């Protein structure tokens, strides 16, 4: 048995304390299957750019059915929550609970629901009543305390470095995680900037029970993303991500032609809302055509530390193997 086993492994019935981040609106079904089969937690993302609750419900069902069919172990479902998308989030949660109720196999595999962005308070009781664990993503100690107060089972503390949406007043992961771990009693998972064993060991040293990774999993063979998107992550250097406005708040993306134009438009006085809409529509280009120059490519700062496309199993097993070595060889 791996020496790197934590409370997170027991909570979710997983071998390794690693969560694959949701990466909506991109599909992560194949990725979630590969992560689940490699012994970590796979996560289903929202896969629509609409706020129509019925479309969101149907898509969620499709995604759950795909992952259920192919995954051998545990997985989770994510939706961002918050006022702007409340009806959509409610429908995604309802559909997940209904589907789970119907199927004993799914009940065993689908152990947790991960909410992000808005207020978790509205959802914890509903998820607990249905027998699901509730994890929520928090960008600050303030939000982590609110999540604990809501009754959630764990906090995913997500720092400045993370790909995709960040808070408007973000805190760096290395500052955030130890502070959150000291401030609440429920388990903390560290997110934002993780891709290797050094990261996992430092998260555990900071009081976390595991890590959540998004960007590292984009650059894997099984990831559902367009091959050009994966290559763009591998090619990115340490200065190649930037935070831009988004309809649901600021988001970290890879620098490309779209972002240069976006920055120029901002300087010429277009409203931030218009710019945000422009960027969010550009997500579709990245998703459908692999248009890496005029599409928006959310990715974390850690892209600069990712140098090759590996299989999910290789990524996970290398992190665990190297983390065990680091722990053994610490110069104390």
Ligand X SMILES: Cc1cc2nc3c(=O)[nH]c(=O)nc-3n(C[C@H](O)[C@H](O)[C@H](O)COP(=O)(O)O)c2cc1C
The single residue among 22, 92, 132, 232 that binds ligand X, judged by CB under 6 A, is 22
**Binding of ligand X by 21 (CB under 6 A):** yes
Q: Which residue is closest to ligand X by CB?
A: 214
**Binding of ligand X by 75 (CB under 6 A):** no
Residue 217 to residues 40, 194, 212, 222: CA-CA distances in angstroms?
12, 10, 10, 9
The single residue among 193, 199, 207, 246 that binds ligand X, judged by CB under 6 A, is 193
**Binding of ligand X by 29 (CB under 6 A):** no
**Binding of ligand X by 170 (CB under 6 A):** no
**Binding of ligand X by 302 (CB under 6 A):** yes
The single residue among 42, 80, 246, 295 that binds ligand X, judged by CB under 6 A, is 80
**Binding of ligand X by 78 (CB under 6 A):** yes
CB atoms within 10 A of CB 243: 15
Q: Are 241 and 253 in contact (CB under 8 A)?
A: yes
Q: Which span (20-28, 49-57, 97-105, 320-328) binds ligand X, by CB under 6 A?
A: 20-28
**Binding of ligand X by 63 (CB under 6 A):** no
Residues 6+ apart with CB under 8 A from 138: 144, 146, 147, 155, 156, 157, 158, 180
**Binding of ligand X by 199 (CB under 6 A):** no
Q: Which is nearer to ligand X, 85 or 141 (CB)?
A: 85
**Binding of ligand X by 194 (CB under 6 A):** yes
Closest approach of Cβ 218 to ligand X, in Å?
Answer: 6
Closest CA relative to residue 315, chosen from 206, 236, 244, 234:
234
Q: Are 162 and 177 in contact (CB under 8 A)?
A: no
Residues 242-301 contacting ligand X, CB under 6 A: 298-300
Task: Give the ranges where the chain is alpha helix by DSSP (H).
Answer: 7-12, 29-37, 53-70, 86-102, 104-109, 124-129, 141-150, 173-183, 197-205, 215-218, 227-235, 257-267, 272-289, 312-329
d(CA 22, CA 107): 20
Closest approach of Cβ 214 to ligand X, in Å?
Answer: 2
Q: Are 81 and 136 in contact (CB under 8 A)?
A: no
Q: What is the 3-state secondary structure (H, E, C) of 123-134?
A: CHHHHHHCCCEE
**Binding of ligand X by 147 (CB under 6 A):** no
Closest approach of Cβ 51 to ligand X, in Å?
Answer: 14
Q: Which span (5-13, 83-91, 157-165, 256-264) binds ligand X, by CB under 6 A?
A: 157-165
The single residue among 137, 176, 276, 306 that binds ligand X, judged by CB under 6 A, is 137
* Residue 319: both structure tokens together: 């992190």
d(CA 9, CA 247): 35
Closest approach of Cβ 117 to ligand X, in Å?
Answer: 7
Q: Are 320 and 39 in contact (CB under 8 A)?
A: no
Q: Which is nearer to ligand X, 103 or 290 (CB)?
A: 290
**Binding of ligand X by 158 (CB under 6 A):** yes
**Binding of ligand X by 161 (CB under 6 A):** yes
Q: Which is nearer to ligand X, 108 or 142 (CB)?
A: 142
**Sheet strands side by side (includes 133-138):** 18-20, 210-213, 188-191, 154-158, 133-138, 110-117, 75-81, 42-44
The single residue among 4, 17, 24, 68 that binds ligand X, judged by CB under 6 A, is 24
d(CA 62, CA 44): 11
d(CA 55, CA 98): 16
**Binding of ligand X by 17 (CB under 6 A):** no
Binding site for ligand X (CB under 6 A): 21-24, 26, 45-46, 78, 80, 116, 137, 158, 161-164, 191-194, 212-216, 298-300, 302
């Amino acid at each position: 048995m791996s020496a790197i086993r934590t409370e997170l492994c027991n909570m979710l019935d997983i071998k390794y304390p690693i969560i694959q981040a949701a990466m909506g609106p991109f599909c992560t079904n194949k990725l979630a299957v590969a992560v689940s089969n490699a012994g970590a937690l796979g996560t289903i993302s929202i896969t629509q750019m609409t706020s129509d609750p019925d479309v969101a419900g149907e898509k969620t069902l499709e995604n759950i059915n795909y992952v259920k069919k192919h995954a051998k172990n545990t997985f989770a479902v994510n939706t961002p929550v918050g006022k702007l998308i409340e009806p959509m989030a409610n429908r995604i949660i309802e559909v997940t609970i209904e589907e789970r109720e119907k199927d004993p196999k799914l009940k065993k595999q689908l152990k947790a629901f991960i909410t992000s962005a808005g207020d978790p308070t509205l959802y914890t009781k509903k998820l607990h009543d249905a027998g699901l664990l509730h994890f929520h993503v928090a960008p600050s100690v303030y939000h982590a305390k609110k999540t604990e107060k809501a009754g959630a089972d764990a906090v995913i503390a997500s720092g400045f470095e993370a790909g995709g949406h960040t808070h408007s007043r973000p805190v760096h992961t290395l500052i955030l995680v130890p502070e959150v771990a000291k401030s609440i009693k429920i388990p903390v998972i560290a997110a934002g900037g993780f891709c290797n064993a050094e990261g996992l060991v430092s998260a555990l040293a900071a009081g976390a029970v595991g890590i959540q990774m998004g960007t590292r999993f984009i650059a894997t063979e099984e990831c559902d993303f367009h091959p050009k998107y994966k290559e763009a992550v591998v090619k990115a250097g340490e200065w190649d991500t930037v935070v831009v406005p988004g309809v649901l708040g600021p988001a970290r993306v890879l620098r490309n032609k779209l972002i240069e134009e976006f920055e120029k438009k901002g300087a010429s006085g277009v409203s931030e809302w218009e710019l945000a809409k422009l960027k969010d529509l550009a997500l579709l280009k990245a998703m459908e055509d692999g248009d890496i120059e005029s599409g928006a490519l959310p990715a974390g700062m850690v892209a600069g530390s990712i140098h090759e496309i590996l299989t999910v199993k290789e990524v996970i097993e290398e992190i665990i193997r190297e983390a065990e070595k680091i722990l053994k060889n610490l110069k104390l």
